[in-house]
Structure 1
Amino acid sequence: KQMTLSEEFFRENSEGVMRQKRAPIRVIIGNPPYSAKQGSANDNAQNLAYPILDGRIAETYADKTGATNKNSLYDSYIKAFRWASDRIADNPEGGIVGFISNGTWIDGNAQDGFRACLENEFSDIYVLNLRGNQRTSGELSRKEGGKIFGGGSRTPITITFLVKKPAKVGHKATIHYHDIGDYLTREQKLELVKKFHSVDGRSLDWQIIEPTERHDWVNQRDGVFESLVPMTPDKKFNINSKSFFIVNSRGNETGRDAWIYNSSKSSLERNIDTTITVFNENSGLNKDEIDYDETKISWTSSLLEKAKRGESLLYSDDYSFALYRPFFKQNVYRGVGLTHRRGQFDCFLSGNLTNKFICISGLGGTKDFSCIITDIIPDLNVLNSGTQCFPLYWYEEKKVIERSLFDDDTNNEKYARRDGISDWILKEVRKRFGNSKAITKEYIFYYVYGILHSPQYRERFAADLKKSLPRIPIVDNVEDFMAFYKAGKALAELHLNYEQVPPSPDVESHITDAVFVEPTADEPFGYTQYDHYSVDKMAFPKVRNESGKLVADKSRIIYNSNITIENIPAKAYEYVVNGKSAIEWIMERYALTQDSKSLIINDPNTWSREHSNPTYIYDLLLSVINLSMQTVDIVNSLPKLKL
């Protein structure tokens, strides 16, 4: 046959490759790369494509998954598993694959098909979970323990052995699992691995896992969850959907947060002007001619496609407020072209229209489920793993009118207001409680917010809520329904109006006297009042505990060199949203930062100046301390769920 170019010019190498491919391989051992993708479109260096291998993943792992987003199945280490599994399968005598790899596949939502294939393709599977997931926070992060590879490593690590025995073909694999344990340092973990010595060593106690029908190995889902009513519609805007809501949306995904968000509107306007100018200068150029300087622009695939087509971006004065992180509001640019994925927010919030959104954690998160409500645009990462947002209303241009039974038009000349809550669930709830006309869709909206805060609900369905969007129970009696509604509405009013919550009378502030400076037209409060209340980075003071170790004293917060807040109750830290307390979100986000790539500075103190309120951040911290305690009290008053 005709030789290929590589066979002709690299004959010795090609012959070696062909010998290797023909050789029967029984053992494959490795530490496959964990690279998921390039860092950003600015890298201009896409990962290599392997069409045959990608095809094998498509017809096996991807074909058997129930997840919508399958991108993670094409990560490098998953490709290594697919290649090794196929290479071993060619050997009629069986074999072993041994990998040290990223461990998120054990419990990943999109990896259910991957696990299903492992069950079918191998005889025995041994998984040693070394933990170390540092994409978590707080107590969960401390439980994960030391990072196996140190440095910037953030992913959990597993040691996996896949055993293929020809005699057991056609039988499901026996899955042997061992979790290394909580709170262990890197050194302690490695010492244990050394002591284990072998998969059949006496010091290694394997747990035999029985996978569920949905191929859960650990954190197995509760069968009761499937009997509850889904929050999410089967299809967006289906007014006949048998779900609580007829539409939902992911949060605002800009693809270039440092450019699109800022505490200062004037800084944001300059950033937008810069990036639009640079885009228009590069539009129509060849890929290799484009300026990828990240201090000038942040490219995404959608923006590169626009440039490829030679399009221009037009500046618009379309600015709004957004909830970037819990209780952290920023200015956001909404002009067409610069937001990577806008979701459904053009029909949720347009012009002077108002709305409310229940925001929940997305799928496959590493943090516990949480929710928050807002009346402004929520960012994709307000909550964990791609925030999902459920509106009280959605809006339709009046030229296209398809009214449902319970809809009312607003006075807005351009839009008709439609309900986010389905007609079906309103009828179901009313029927459950004697066809009570007193129950409205707004009652159901706040009822959902109350249920989502229930400790029993979150604990019982913790595993389900990481792998599925919520399903909501309809309680047995109207008294409990009304209790959840009232609690949900109280929580909503508290969380929506978080800036207006008065400070707790028990929390004390120690403030040094400010030196007065005569106000001017530019500085109506005087320079020093702004300076006196400005923040750089809030912190907890350190104290020594009984064992002499320095620990954070969370009863006090050093606001700045002029102000200390004291007597903060421990209860205030019990209100946790997206992995940390609401108080610590304020401390983290209201800090002077500079983006490492764009070098854009985000100074939260500029918000205070542009809103003529020098004490805004100080007042906000005190408000959130009180809000947290009130939230804990309301949650503790919820009825017990009978599930």
Structure 2
Amino acid sequence: MTRLPGVWTTPPPAVGWMARSVHHLVQSRFGHPEGLAHPAVRLLDPAAGPLNFVLAAWREAIRHRADKAALLRDHLLPDSQGWEILEDSCARGHRALRRFLRGFGALPAPGGERVLRQRDSLAGPPEPAAIAGALPVLLGNPPWIGQPPPASPWLARLLGTWRVGEGRPLTGRNGKCLQDTWARFLRLAQWMVEQQGEGIVAFALNHNGLDAPTLRGMRSSLLATFEEIYLLDLHGNQRKRERAPDGSRDENLFPGLAQGAALMVLVKKPGLARRVAHADLQGTRLHKLAVLRSGSLATTAWSEIRPRSPQLVFRPAADLATEQAFRRGTPLDEIFPVHTTGLITGQDAVVTATDRRLLEERLRRIGRREWLPHLTAWLPRPFDLRYLVFTPEAVTRPRPELARHLRQPGNVALLVPRQHKGELGAFVTAALPGHKAVSAYDITSAFPLYLDTAGERLANLSPAFRDRLAGLYGESPEPGAILAYSYGVLHAPGYRNRFRQLLSRELARIPFPLQVQPFNDLAGCGSALLAAHLRLPAARATGGCRLSGDLGLPVTQITYDPGEHGIRLHPEGLRLDGVSPDLWSYRIGDYAVLTSWLIARSGRPLRAEERRELSDLTTAVQRSLDLLPALERAYRNAAA
């Protein structure tokens, strides 16, 4: 359940798991048998909401105590704080506090209501008295707001320390994950523990914290600060379409939340042996709730992990041999050094259309005839060529440098995201690519094959890389052959399956064989696949899927009939026949190619040009499927 964007109510079993875990750690790591009931403990939730975490911690502290009312009055009330910025949440928290205390016969003493204060935790440093001389125990589930207001100057300075990883400034332009609200609260909690020199933090964590490249500085900092780190991965990432180990659907613990979640527990206690431990909890939501309801950190089967540079991922690493094989490959940006992200349109309903004539008619209708000379081909999805008004006024981020390179006749761009939440996506285009051209969830990087440099056509290949290939093969292959070979690798099932985990968080690396013949064989397969994906005349063939029925009917449904190998497009009989199950399910990255193309043209009849395009598309996809066995054999020979 959610009340505000990014504010997710934590299921009580997860709250209880965290409360029992910190209670156990105070006992076992800090030598206080009373656990949270020990007078040295200062309990704090900096994003308290209705006080669920504080009250759960109190229940754990008094569970086995006979003097419950006295413990509440003398220690837990004065030594616990919840900070909450929302007035409504504060009011609900105060009511919950009163109900809790009445239940144990401990009406609050004067000032007891100060347990929950309306305060912006991120506005500045907390009062020193909040944790002075105490063992700070922070727990909660801070809000997950991806684009909050700018951080305060004080907090911005703290977050700046996360822009350094292992003592080195981090490269990369996109640091927006550092601005997520949950990350700000985690940095605040880390700072408070650092001030005391010891303490515990237990927070619900956005999945990005486990492996996002832009948060490797955060992970580096946490590894330096805390002796023990525990990560219970709750999975449930709907964007990755995660599955449980038995193949069943993996459900999110938070209904309606697409992003996966984890529970993180951090322990700072000088003298403890350093440890990073990980565990998985997958399956249905009911299964996860049942495990959390009865468990804690002490009952969880942990596996030791060793986060490795450069990403310091908080997940079990690929086996060492697999990672070493991956690292022997050459990163795409060291092969094709000039690259940028795809363009962002911003007002698709006005400046884009699936048909050039539709776009021209719209521009005349809205009085923007001056845009008519600026129409260009645009690729927002794989195989889905559309048209776009390409001017700085019409396009939010036009990427003019990429457009300049792609204007050259015969030039193409390789499209690959830098990391993948779903399946690895790779495509090629001669048109301007959109920023999510091969993945609905990841930004597409475009690597042009040739560059327009002061009117001169130059290959976009690193000189050092070409020299290395020349040393292997006697001479450097042509640029087109290098692109074709790389494309073959990216589409080889063996490559994708072996390096799936590494590709989910890093830019693809291309392995090159020591002999030229395996290179040429795979480049030949990759060249045929490029021709199919570019729908070049040489790759076209007859026998594509056929439309049947009344072609004047609009596309109103997209329902696959596996028995008849067809797609129903209208209940009165419009169909696309000859669609095999493999053709129907063919995907590039996160996009089901046929479904995506048809959805973009639904609600109206397909024009004659679109019917021909649909036939070409199905032919190209079938050609791609036919090439896969030879492509895989060539890849395995090259990899050997």
Q: Name the TM-score, length of structure 2 as normaliser.
A: 0.70
Which residue in 1 is equivalent to 2:580? 569
Alpha-carbon offset, residue 83 of structure 1: 0.4
Q: Is structure 2 residue 577 aligned with structure 1 residue 540?
A: no
Contact 1:539/1:557 (8 A) holds in 2? yes
Once residues 249 and 15 of structure 1 are traced to their aligned partners in structure 2, the CA distance between those partners, rounded to angstroms, is 42
Contact 2:492/2:628 (8 A) holds in 1? no
Contact 1:262/1:330 (8 A) holds in 2? yes
AA in 1 matched with 2:151: A
Q: Is structure 2 residue 456 aligned with structure 1 residue 416?
A: yes
Q: Is structure 2 residue 184 aligned with structure 1 residue 79?
A: yes
Equivalent residue for 2:285, pick from 186, 192, 195: 186
Deviation digits for residues 354-376 of structure 1 (CA, Å, limit 9, x no counterpart): 4111111223x201322111111
Contact 1:491/1:634 (8 A) holds in 2? no
AA in 2 matched with 1:619: S
C-alpha spacing 1:99/1:61, structure 2 compared with 1 (3 Å): farther
C-alpha spacing 1:320/1:77, structure 2 compared with 1 (3 Å): same
Equivalent residue for 1:582, pick from 578, 585, 593: 593
Alpha-carbon offset, residue 154 of structure 1: 0.9
Question: Larger relative contact order (C-alpha < 8 A, sep ≥ 6)?
Answer: 1
Equivalent residue for 1:21, pick from 112, 130, 149: 130
Matched residue SS, 1:37 = coil
Equivalent residue for 1:623, pick from 607, 611, 619: 619
Contact 1:582/1:624 (8 A) holds in 2? no
> Which residues in structure 2 correspond to 1:604-643 (within 5 Å)?
608-609=606-607, 612-613=608-609, 615-616=611-612, 618-620=614-616, 622-640=618-636, 641-642=638-639
Q: Is structure 2 residue 152 aligned with structure 1 residue 50?
A: yes
Once residues 498 and 139 of structure 1 are traced to their aligned partners in structure 2, the CA distance between those partners, rounded to angstroms, is 38
Alpha-carbon offset, residue 334 of structure 1: 0.7
Which residue in 2 is equivalent to 1:299? none
Once residues 548 and 119 of structure 2 are traced to their aligned partners in structure 1, the CA distance between those partners, rounded to angstroms, is 79
Once residues 350 and 218 of structure 2 are traced to their aligned partners in structure 1, the CA distance between those partners, rounded to angstroms, is 37
Deviation digits for residues 27-64 of structure 1 (CA, Å, limit 9, x no counterpart): 111110100116xxxxxxxx242221121111235555
Alpha-carbon offset, residue 137 of structure 1: 4.4
Matched residue SS, 1:96 = strand
Contact 1:276/1:315 (8 A) holds in 2? no
Contact 2:147/2:179 (8 A) holds in 1? no
Contact 1:504/1:622 (8 A) holds in 2? no
Which residue in 1 is equivalent to 2:10? none
C-alpha spacing 1:14/1:469, structure 2 compared with 1 (3 Å): closer
Once residues 261 and 482 of structure 1 are traced to their aligned partners in structure 2, the CA distance between those partners, rounded to angstroms, is 40
Alpha-carbon offset, residue 471 of structure 1: 2.6
Contact 1:96/1:164 (8 A) holds in 2? yes
Which residue in 2 is equivalent to 1:247? 338
Equivalent residue for 2:436, pick from 381, 399, 402: 381
C-alpha spacing 1:557/1:15, structure 2 compared with 1 (3 Å): closer
> Which residues in structure 2 correspond to 1:399-548 (within 5 Å)?
415-435=455-475, 439-497=477-535, 501-502=540-541, 504=543, 511-512=548-549, 514=550, 529=551, 531-532=552-553, 534-541=554-561
C-alpha spacing 1:19/1:371, structure 2 compared with 1 (3 Å): closer
Which residue in 1 is equivalent to 2:305? 209
Alpha-carbon offset, residue 620 of structure 1: 4.7
Alpha-carbon offset, residue 104 of structure 1: 1.9
Equivalent residue for 2:396, pick from 310, 331, 340: 340
C-alpha spacing 1:639/1:99, structure 2 compared with 1 (3 Å): closer
C-alpha spacing 1:198/1:271, structure 2 compared with 1 (3 Å): farther
Contact 2:352/2:359 (8 A) holds in 1? yes
AA in 2 matched with 1:511: S
C-alpha spacing 1:164/1:275, structure 2 compared with 1 (3 Å): farther
AA in 1 matched with 2:351: I
C-alpha spacing 1:140/1:315, structure 2 compared with 1 (3 Å): farther
Judge which range, 257-266 or 51-60, deviates more. 257-266
Q: Is structure 2 residue 349 aligned with structure 1 residue 218?
A: no
Once residues 386 and 119 of structure 2 are traced to their aligned partners in structure 1, the CA distance between those partners, rounded to angstroms, is 61
Percent of paired sites with the same residue: 21
Judge which range, 480-489 or 442-451, deviates more. 442-451
Which residue in 1 is equivalent to 2:86? none
Once residues 179 and 370 of structure 2 are traced to their aligned partners in structure 1, the CA distance between those partners, rounded to angstroms, is 36
C-alpha spacing 1:386/1:144, structure 2 compared with 1 (3 Å): farther
Which residue in 1 is equivalent to 2:452? 395
Once residues 623 and 81 of structure 1 are traced to their aligned partners in structure 2, the CA distance between those partners, rounded to angstroms, is 51
AA in 2 matched with 1:626: Q
Alpha-carbon offset, residue 102 of structure 1: 1.5
Contact 1:32/1:80 (8 A) holds in 2? yes
What is the count of residue pairs matched by the alignment?
504
AA in 2 matched with 1:489: S
Matched residue SS, 1:26 = strand
Once residues 70 and 467 of structure 1 are traced to their aligned partners in structure 2, the CA distance between those partners, rounded to angstroms, is 15
Once residues 625 and 50 of structure 1 are traced to their aligned partners in structure 2, the CA distance between those partners, rounded to angstroms, is 52
Alpha-carbon offset, residue 118 of structure 1: 1.4
Once residues 415 and 564 of structure 2 are traced to their aligned partners in structure 1, the CA distance between those partners, rounded to angstroms, is 28
Matched residue SS, 1:147 = coil
Once residues 20 and 618 of structure 1 are traced to their aligned partners in structure 2, the CA distance between those partners, rounded to angstroms, is 69
AA in 2 matched with 1:430: A
Once residues 107 and 467 of structure 1 are traced to their aligned partners in structure 2, the CA distance between those partners, rounded to angstroms, is 7
Once residues 253 and 510 of structure 1 are traced to their aligned partners in structure 2, the CA distance between those partners, rounded to angstroms, is 34
- Structure with bigger helix share is 2
Once residues 226 and 564 of structure 2 are traced to their aligned partners in structure 1, the CA distance between those partners, rounded to angstroms, is 51
Once residues 466 and 578 of structure 1 are traced to their aligned partners in structure 2, the CA distance between those partners, rounded to angstroms, is 12
C-alpha spacing 1:193/1:22, structure 2 compared with 1 (3 Å): closer
Which residue in 1 is equivalent to 2:100? none
Alpha-carbon offset, residue 158 of structure 1: 1.0
Once residues 565 and 316 of structure 1 are traced to their aligned partners in structure 2, the CA distance between those partners, rounded to angstroms, is 34
Contact 1:574/1:628 (8 A) holds in 2? no
Contact 1:501/1:623 (8 A) holds in 2? yes
In structure 1, runs of 5+ residues without a counterpart are 1-11, 39-46, 233-242, 278-312, 398-414, 515-528, 542-551, 593-602
> Which residues in structure 2 correspond to 1:228-267 (within 5 Å)?
228-232=329-333, 243-265=334-356
Contact 1:107/1:217 (8 A) holds in 2? yes
Matched residue SS, 2:559 = coil
In structure 2, runs of 5+ residues without a counterpart are 1-113, 121-125
C-alpha spacing 1:618/1:459, structure 2 compared with 1 (3 Å): closer
AA in 2 matched with 1:187: L
Deviation digits for residues 489-517 of structure 1 (CA, Å, limit 9, x no counterpart): 10011110179744647x6x5833x4xxx
Deviation digits for residues 271-301 of structure 1 (CA, Å, limit 9, x no counterpart): 7789999xxxxxxxxxxxxxxxxxxxxxxxx
Q: Name the TM-score, length of structure 1 as normaliser.
A: 0.70
